[in-house]
C-alpha cells in the first residue's frame, strides 16, 4: 500500500448543492423559524423549562456539551504550537473550521436560552459587568473566542481564495497584504485562542460548582473545571479525527494513516489520564463506593466510565490505532462517553428537588437539531469552496497549485 503524507490543504472537487446539503439546510431553516417563534412566544410556550430546571437543552447540550466537540482547534493548537508537534499542522484548518462552526452554533443556542435576549448588548458596556459572575466570564470568553480568535484563525483559506485569478488585481493585492499582516500577528492570535478556551471550558465546569448539593456527589467535585478542560481536549481531537476519516471516505481522498494513528494515540493517552483523575478524585473524596452503588446514578457512572475507558484502552493496541476501519467506531464510542460526562452534571445528575422533572419539548429538540444542522451545512459548503481538508503534494500539483505558499501552506 502506498504511503500517503498530507502536506497541503485543498478544496473538495464536488458540487455543493447535493441531497444531504438540502436535507441539513431544511432542518437548519426549520430550526431558525422555531428560534424566531421562541423569541416571540417566550420560553414558557416553547420549552419544558420550569423553576427546578432553568437550564435546558440549549445551554446544557448545545453549549456545555457540544462545544467540547468544537475544541479541536484549541486542542490541536496546544499540540502544534505549545508542544511543537508541527506534523499536525496540515490538520489545523479542519480543526479550526469545526471549532468556529460548533461555537457559532452554540452561541446561537445561548441566545435562544436567554429569557431577555435584548439584554445581551449590555456585554459591550464594561460599566455594568459583574466580575464575580462565572456565567458572565463564560459568555464574554466564548464571544471573544468566536468573534476575535476563531475569525482571525480562519482567515487564511479566505485570503487564499481571494488571491486566485477570478478576482481583480486590486483584490488579489490586498489579500496578499492581509496575509502578510496575518502571518506577522499570528503568534498573538494563537496565544489568545489558547487562553480563551482554557478559561471558558473550565468555567463551564465551575458553573456546576455553584449548584452545590443539587449535583450528585459523584459528579460534584472541585476538580470539575479540570475534568471539563481535559475532556474538551479529548473530544476536540477525537472529533477532528472522525471528521477527517469520514471526509476521506465520502469524497474518496487519500488518508494519511500514520498521522491519524499518531493523533489517535494522543487521544488515547489523554483519555486514560482523564480516567485516572476521575477515579483519583472519587477515591480522595470518599465517593468511590457511591459511584459503584447499584442505583440509577451508579448505572450512569458505570456507563460513562466504560464508554471512555474501554475505547481508550483499545486505541492503545497498534492494530486498532493504525486501522481507520477499527479506530473509527472506537472513537465514536469514546466520543459518546465523553459527551455523556459533559452532559450529566448539568441535567442527569442535577437534583433540583421533589416534584420537578424535565424532558425537552419537541420545539427544543427541533431547534437544537436545526442548529447542529446549520453547522453541517457550513462545513459542507466551506470544504468545497476553500482549501480546508488536508491533501498530498501530488493532489495539489494535479490541481494546478505549484506555489508552496498557496493552498494552505501558510498558517
Does 47 or 402 have the greater pLDDT score? 47
Distance CA 204, CA 271 (A): 19
- Cα–Cα distances in angstroms (integers) from residue 367 to residues 31, 110, 332, in the given order: 4, 12, 24
Distance CA 251, CA 164 (A): 24
Does 117 or 62 have the greater pLDDT score? 62
pLDDT at residue number 1:
57
Whether residue 407 is predicted with pLDDT greater than 60 in this model: the reply is no
C-alpha cell at position 180: 502578510
pLDDT at residue number 411:
35
pLDDT at residue number 383:
94
Q: 391: which strand partners?
A: 8
pLDDT at residue number 405:
42
Count H helices and E strands in the chain, helices first.
Answer: 17, 2
Distance CA 214, CA 282 (A): 17
Whether residue 336 is predicted with pLDDT greater than 90 in this model: the reply is yes
pLDDT at residue number 354:
80
The Cβ of residue 223 has, within 10 Å, a number of other Cβ atoms equal to 17
- Average pLDDT of the chain? 89
pLDDT at residue number 401:
54
Question: 10-14, 30-34, 82-86, 192-196: which has the highest mean pLDDT?
Answer: 30-34
Distance CA 75, CA 67 (A): 12
Which of 76, 396, 382, 400 lies closest to 254 in space, CA to CA? 396
Does 245 or 409 have the greater pLDDT score? 245
Whether residue 403 is predicted with pLDDT greater than 60 in this model: the reply is no
Does 168 or 220 have the greater pLDDT score? 220
What mean pLDDT comes out for the span 27-36?
A: 95
pLDDT at residue number 274:
97
Q: C-alpha 70: how far from its chain's center? A: 1
pTM for the complete prediction?
0.92
Whether residue 410 is predicted with pLDDT greater than 60 in this model: the reply is no
The pLDDT confidence band at residue 177, using thresholds 50, 70 and 90, is confident
**Vertex 335: Cα angle to 154 and 257 (nearest 5):** 70
pLDDT at residue number 406:
43
Distance CA 190, CA 310 (A): 34
pLDDT at residue number 311:
97
> Using an 8 Å Cβ cutoff, are 237 and 265 in contact?
no
Give percent helix, percent strand, percent coil of the chain, each to the nearest 5.
75, 0, 25
pLDDT at residue number 307:
97
> Using an 8 Å Cβ cutoff, are 146 and 107 in contact?
yes
The pLDDT confidence band at residue 184, using thresholds 50, 70 and 90, is confident
Amino acid at each position: 500500500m502506498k504511503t500517503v503524507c498530507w502536506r497541503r490543504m485543498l478544496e473538495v472537487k464536488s458540487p455543493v448543492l447535493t441531497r444531504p446539503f438540502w436535507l441539513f439546510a431544511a432542518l437548519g431553516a426549520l430550526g431558525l423559524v422555531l428560534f424566531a417563534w421562541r423569541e416571540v412566544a417566550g420560553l414558557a410556550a416553547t420549552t419544558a423549562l420550569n423553576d427546578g430546571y432553568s437550564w435546558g437543552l440549549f445551554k446544557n447540550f448545545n453549549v456545555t456539551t457540544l462545544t467540547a466537540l468544537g475544541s479541536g482547534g484549541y486542542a490541536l493548537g496546544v499540540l502544534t504550537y505549545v508542544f511543537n508537534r508541527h506534523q499536525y499542522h496540515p490538520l489545523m484548518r479542519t480543526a479550526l473550521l469545526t471549532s468556529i462552526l460548533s461555537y457559532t452554533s452554540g452561541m446561537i443556542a445561548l441566545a435562544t436560552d436567554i429569557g431577555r435576549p435584548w439584554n445581551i448588548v449590555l456585554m459591550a458596556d464594561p460599566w455594568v459587568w459583574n466580575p464575580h459572575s462565572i456565567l458572565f466570564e463564560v459568555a464574554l470568553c466564548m464571544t471573544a473566542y468566536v468573534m476575535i480568535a476563531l475569525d482571525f484563525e480562519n482567515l487564511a483559506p479566505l485570503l487564499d481564495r481571494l488571491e486566485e485569478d477570478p478576482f481583480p488585481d486590486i483584490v488579489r493585492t490586498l489579500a496578499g497584504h492581509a496575509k502578510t499582516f496575518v502571518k506577522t500577528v499570528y503568534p498573538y492570535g494563537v496565544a489568545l485562542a489558547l487562553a480563551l478556551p482554557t478559561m471558558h471550558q473550565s468555567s463551564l465546569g465551575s458553573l456546576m460548582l455553584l449548584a452545590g448539593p443539587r449535583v450528585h456527589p459523584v459528579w460534584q467535585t472541585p476538580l470539575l473545571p479540570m475534568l471539563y478542560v481535559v475532556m474538551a481536549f479529548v473530544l476536540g481531537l477525537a472529533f477532528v479525527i472522525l471528521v477527517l476519516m469520514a471526509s476521506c471516505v465520502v469524497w474518496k481522498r487519500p488518508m494519511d494513516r500514520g498521522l491519524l494513528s499518531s493523533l489517535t494515540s494522543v487521544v488515547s493517552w489523554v483519555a486514560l489520564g482523564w480516567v485516572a483523575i476521575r477515579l483519583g478524585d472519587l477515591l480522595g473524596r470518599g465517593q468511590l463506593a457511591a459511584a459503584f452503588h447499584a442505583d440509577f446514578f451508579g448505572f450512569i457512572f458505570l456507563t460513562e466510565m466504560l464508554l471512555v475507558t474501554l475505547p481508550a484502552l483499545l486505541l492503545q493496541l497498534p492494530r486498532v490505532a493504525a486501522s481507520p476501519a477499527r479506530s473509527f467506531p472506537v472513537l465514536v464510542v469514546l466520543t459518546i462517553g465523553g459527551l455523556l460526562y459533559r452532559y450529566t452534571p448539568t441535567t442527569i445528575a442535577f437534583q433540583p428537588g421533589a416534584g420537578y422533572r424535565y424532558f425537552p419539548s419537541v420545539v427544543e429538540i427541533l431547534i437544537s437539531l436545526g442548529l447542529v444542522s446549520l453547522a453541517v451545512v457550513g462545513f459542507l459548503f466551506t470544504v468545497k469552496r476553500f482549501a480546508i481538508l488536508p491533501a498530498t503534494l501530488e493532489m495539489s500539483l494535479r490541481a494546478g497549485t505549484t506555489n508552496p505558499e498557496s493552498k494552505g501552506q501558510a498558517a
